[in-house]
Amino acid sequence: MRINTFNFSAKLGLSGFLITVILGALSAVTLIGLLYSQHDRGFNIPEMDRVQSHYNDSQLISAMKGTMYQYVTEDGDIDIIAKWIADGAKDDDFFKDEVMYIIGEDCQKCHSRNSQMSNAMPSMPFSSYEDIVQYTEGGYSWTKMAKTAHIHLFGISVFLVIVSLIMAHSSYRSWIKTLLISAAWISLWLDIGSWWLAKFYSGFAYVISVAGGVEIGAICAMSGLCLLNLWFRLPAVVLEPSDHPPQ
């Protein structure tokens, strides 16, 4: 059964779902652009150094380069802490004299058990070596990575399989359906898989960006094409021979 043969109520329900998927995908693109750029509104192209930092640098350095950058007094502060981490993140004189001074100036206004700031994070204090060293592991921790990855895989696969099935029952030529369905699933696996690989080699951040773009593009393309197939008469060139509209 082709989706263009459904009754009005079924078409209406499918249309609501497909439009919601497109809006969700656009919202995801907006969020990613905001997280990985210096802008605070609109659609933005992610900056690769921020993407690389998020997946390859320690959580502390990634935050200082990204979401917490506005609170960093000088860019050199990031370099000093990065050097301390690269040298083994030791509880030594360099930590006490240099690192803790920077943490006090840049971070402790909010990251303190007694902070009264509106954006305070008393549950993540930076008051001692023990508080800070847990955020020096390169990239996501394995626990956080596994948690985030499985949530994304299960969550995206739920709506992606529905969109794939709707696309499979559309009237488009088989090669169009195969191409878009395959692109969506393969790019999802490449995207999530590269999260792990980027912990060891920052170059995989480019794979994350490209695969994520293909994934969103394929999802939006399938959803948009299915909406057209539901409501409009399409040119024969994109349809299966058996689904050509009568002359």
Name the residue among 146, 221, 239, 123 with its Cα closest to residue 179: 221
Residue 104 shares a structural domain with residue 182: no
Residue 97 belongs to some domain of the structure: yes
Report whether pLDDT(137) > 90.
no
Which of 93, 116, 133 is a domain's end point?
133
Mean per-residue pLDDT over the chain, rounded: 90
Q: How many CB atoms are located within 10 Å of the residue 244 CB?
A: 13
Which of 111, 133, 155 is a domain's end point?
133
Length of the chain: 247
pLDDT tens, 84-109?
A: 999 999 999 999 999 999 999 989 88
Residue 150 shares a structural domain with residue 239: yes
Phi, psi of 239 (to 5 degrees): -100, 155
Residue 129 shares a structural domain with residue 158: no
Which parts of 36-58 fold into alpha helices (H)?
48-56
Contact 129, 53 (CB under 8 A): no
| Pair of tokens at residue 187 | 């790019």
CA separation, residue 52 to residues 34, 40, 42, 47, 112 (Å): 15, 20, 22, 9, 28
Contact 49, 37 (CB under 8 A): no
pLDDT score recorded for residue 244: 61
Contact 43, 118 (CB under 8 A): no
DSSP letter string, 107-122 = TTTTSSTT---TT--T
What is the span of the domain harbouring residue 39? 3-48+140-243
Contact 171, 6 (CB under 8 A): no
pLDDT tens, 167-219?
A: 999 999 999 999 999 999 999 999 999 999 988 888 999 999 999 999 999 99
Which of 112, 133, 154 is a domain's end point?
133
Report whether pLDDT(221) > 80.
yes
Residue 109 belongs to some domain of the structure: yes
